[in-house]
Amino acid sequence: MTCSILSIGDELLIGQVVNTNASWLGDQLTSLGITVAAIINIGDDRGLIAREIERLASTNDLLIISGGLGPTHDDLTREAICDLLGCQLRIDEEQLRRIEQRFAERGLPINERSIRQAAIPESCRTIANNYGSAPGLSFTLGACRAYALPGVPMELKGIFGDEIIAEIAPEADTIERQTLLMFGLTESALADQLQELNTLLGDGLTLAYLPAFGGIRLRAMRNGSKDNAEERFKKLVEGIATLSARWIVSTRHETMAAAVGALLHERGLTIAVAESCTGGTVGMLLTETPGSSAYFLGGVISYANSLKQGMLGVAESDLQQHGAVSQQVAIAMARGVRQRTGSDLAVAVTGIAGPDGGSPEKPVGTVWIAAVSSTRTIVERFQLGREREVVRARAAHLALWLVQRLVVESEEEIVG
């Protein structure tokens, strides 16, 4: 079963809005076992919308359209569908009552533009929208089933989850997916590590490498059951686990911060952070996960040396002799924040994010990171490039990785 996603709106083309709807839909459809053939962005042009719907419907089993169902003059998806299906707009009385009730609940006056959202192409089925004013639409074009949804992300996700998944899931292929998060090696090195597994791929099995600052997301996927796909998929996942065990941070579809947070929560450990060049990024990543208050106590953003001394207890002699960006200061920062917060673990980051401030001995991109517990310290120096935001992002994720190593390696020592 193949599907294309058509996103409508000038704002998507000029870069004013990032098309998060398409990426979310792609993930949802793939999880259901539906092959996403294309993602297309087009502008608010009535004729173009109709032509593109017709073109995509001719080559797909399913078409998801987002945007252009609102109350303003540039919302043209309804009219384009009428042009394509040879029908007129009609007022859906049930949808009109929903819109009137929604405005009344908010104490807002209803106007003609709002009522326009209850105008539905006669050849379409209305899909209830419990999250906004514009309903979704369903229609068929040849052998293709099409759904038009509002472009507001909350509304699109709500309608898709409440109504559409149940309609399309029974017709989807069998799918199995395993996503692993790797950290500590490059994409090319990981590909070399797993090269012998390539003979298992094809005929329904794929392996994708998705690198980012937070590690490499490795996605193994089986679509269908032909040619022993189930057996090959099992061998593929087992092979990955064997060949790259030391680099695996998580076998769940989650971020580095979520994986580290889950590890801390499972072990009943708490953590605090001391940050300089990352400016609070490590703490921000940790607290993006719901429930992080169970393990994250807080931290100190000690940008100035005076705060490193006064709030973290870094010795003035270490700052003068070794500099703020040094092994000694990173360790002292981590130990200081751990002592002051009473946390089980702590991690500290100090570095030169640039674009200025570097020297021959410590060029821009030099970062020291220390992770400490009551019995163990891990401290490493990294060279992370010359772009400020890249340095900060890489450093924050490396700090989380050192925390993960601190916990895992400490456990391994106990077992050993």
For 337-370, write each residue's pLDDT tens digit.
999 999 999 999 999 999 999 999 999 999 999 9
Give 12's contacts (C-beta < 8 A, 6+ positions apart). Answer: 19, 41, 67
158 Cβ contact partners less than 8 Å away, ≥ 6 residues apart: 129, 130, 131
Angle between helices 327-341 and 305-312 (to 10 degrees): 40
* Token code pair at residue 397: 């994720």
Q: Please identify, in words, the CATH class of the domain defined by 175-250.
A: alpha beta
Please write the tens of the pLDDT for every residue from 158-202.
999 999 999 999 888 777 889 999 999 999 999 999 999 999 999
What whole-number distance in Å separates Cα of residue 109 and Cα of residue 100? 9
Distances (CA, A) of 44 to 11, 49, 110: 9, 7, 25
Does the pLDDT of residue 101 top 80, yes or no? yes
CB contact at 8 A, 134 and 117: yes
pLDDT on residue 414: 62
In whole angstroms, how far apart are CA 237 and each of 240, 262, 335?
5, 22, 39
Mean pLDDT of the chain: 94
Query: What CATH number should be reported for the domain whose range is 2-171?
Result: 3.40.980.10
Which residue in 212, 324, 406, 293 sits closest to 283, CA to CA? 293
Sign of the Cα torsion 356, 362, 363, 368 reads: negative
Element (DSSP H or E) covering residue 39:
strand 35-42
User: Residue 19 burial by CB count (10 A; 0-12/13-18/19+): exposed, middle or buried?
Assistant: buried
Q: What is the pLDDT of residues 276-330, one digit of tens each?
A: 999 999 999 999 999 999 999 999 999 999 999 999 999 999 999 999 999 999 9
Q: Where are the domains of the chain?
A: 2-171, 175-250, 256-415
List pLDDT tens digits, range 2-61: 999 999 999 999 999 999 999 999 999 988 889 899 999 999 999 999 999 999 999 999
Contacts of 49 (CB under 8 A, 6+ apart): 8, 42, 68, 76, 77, 80
pTM recorded for the entire structure? 0.76
Over 60: is that where the pLDDT of 415 sits? Answer: no
Assign domain 256-415 to its CATH architecture: Alpha-Beta Complex (3.90)
Work out whether strand 271-275 and strand 296-301 pair parallel, antiparallel, or are unpaired.
Answer: parallel
Note whether 329 and 362 are within 8 A (CB): no
Percent of the chain scoring above 90 in pLDDT: 81
123-155 in b/e form (b: 16+ CB < 10 A) is bbebbebebbbbbbbbbebeebbbbbbbbbeeb
Query: At residue 340, what is the residue type?
Result: R
E strand residue ranges, 118-226: 119-121, 125-127, 136-141, 144-149, 175-182, 205-212, 215-223
From the list 413, 397, 403, the residue with the least C-alpha distance to 270 is 403
| Backbone φ, ψ for residue 64 (5° rounding) | -110, 125
